[in-house]
Amino acid sequence: MEDSLVSTSNATPERIDAKVKDYVVHIDLKNHTILHDCEDWRKNMDTKNLCKHLGKLLLSLDQNTALDLLRSMLKDREQWKFAAP
C-alpha cells in the first residue's frame, strides 16, 4: 500500500485520527478504543486482530508512538475496545 494513501489529521498523546485509502481510523488512546470502518476490521473485531489499514497507519506513525500503542494493545488487550461505525 502506498504511503500517500495514509493521511493523519490529528495525532496527539490522547488521540490519532487518520484516513487510510477511503477508510477512517480513530484511535482513542486514553479510552483504549479503535474505531475503523473496513470490512476486514468488522469481521475480526471480536478476535482483536488488526487489518492491513491499521498496519499501514502504524507504519506511518512515529516509531515510538507506534511501539507504545502496540505494547499497550498487547499488554492491556482486554481493556481495548475495537469498534466499527
Position 63 scores a pLDDT of 94
pLDDT in tens, 8-28: 999 999 999 999 999 999 999
Position 6 scores a pLDDT of 97
Nearest to 27 by CA among 1, 76, 36: 36
Can you tell me the mean pLDDT for 43-50? 91
| CA distances (Å), origin 15, targets 2, 11, 12, 31, 69 | 23, 6, 5, 9, 11
